[in-house]
Structure 1
């Protein structure tokens, strides 16, 4: 399990996280919600091991993230940031193969290529394999980066064995059109079916309700709510957290909550 317990983070005088705790188990999708500035990306950075909190601890399989060797950690968790900077004109296939770097010495070039090709297909960017990355649109780049992190954690592998895997997605739908927003979150669900624990920061409450097993809501750095979409998405919670009056109805075919502004 990937856990963060009683996390406090301050940047100067600003306390960005005020003690939230959460856990992600293999095989589930957890969506983190909250208004701008609530601390969502900061919490993800703590869970990724790239930011150490001033108080509290993040741990993977009961071992503090700070104690994991970088390569061993990279084999178990992959992070898709909001923005991935790459100024070099690499072909898309080579960008995806960068995700195989932690597997150097344990995986053959042929296996790495096969995995990269499968992940390109999963992210629906196979047709871009030989394009230069710098010529792509923002949405295309985001989908290529998704393929890269899928390759890093062996997405196609149905059983992680003694190596539980986690996928951390920071606003993975932000640059995508409507169809690819749903395609990306369907990939998150397929990852969970393969035993991968997925945490995704989302702004669209309805997408979160459709695809997540659990929702975690942050407000001003604190935990405002946690639970199933049905339990969390109430009119009072949305109004109080997002300062928006809404009506909660049910999706006509899925039965999950749907948030309608009023």
Structure 2
């Protein structure tokens, strides 16, 4: 290949890489927006005294939003800790009163909330104004007296699922790679080689950085797929693009609520489906 052909080929490769990056961004953006989530979000650090209003299977609960801070990195925190600027705030299924709807067994949800409150006050003991310090993976265990109740075990397991939001940064990744490139450039300058040698040194460094960033982009795509899948039971828009609503009936004077997709999984001939839908 001639000199001109080599440079043209390098430029096309660079254009191809840029297009691939844009393709991954478009895919990740589409995964989030297709389910009603926000692409651009403002990560709020403090929700103040705001409360979360929850409808669990027809029963209402109110929990201070800050209580979910200790569960950071879990599904529960992804849904409830972020303020109104959170990624999924507008995408969550809500009842007619605007409460976040959870298609879960109400008594089990009450046990979960009580345990969350107990944990909160345990961490904050000694000061009502100090938020719990998160030094390890969040944990909220099923109370011993409920360990044999499958509905309680399920309600504890579901919201405590971890959600990986960012790719892990390795030693040879991110800023470390930038430092490597700078160090190589400095060393090249000290040796006073030709301008071409300097450029090739920098090019080699950027190549390593691109390889590391390629892995991070792949990780981001996979974790976004997981995050959307884990959030699905709580979103108002299904994966086929159709919206859902909360449906309710009264049983012995008590409101019982669910969502149509749950009823459909039970089958149109089931007694529960007919009670809600016919």
TM-score of Structure 1 vs Structure 2, range by shorter chain: under 0.3
Structure with more strand by fraction: 1
Larger Cα-atom Rg: 2
Q: Give the structure, 1 or 2, with the largest relative contact order (CA under 8 Å, sep 6 or more).
A: 1
- TM value normalised by structure 2: 0.21
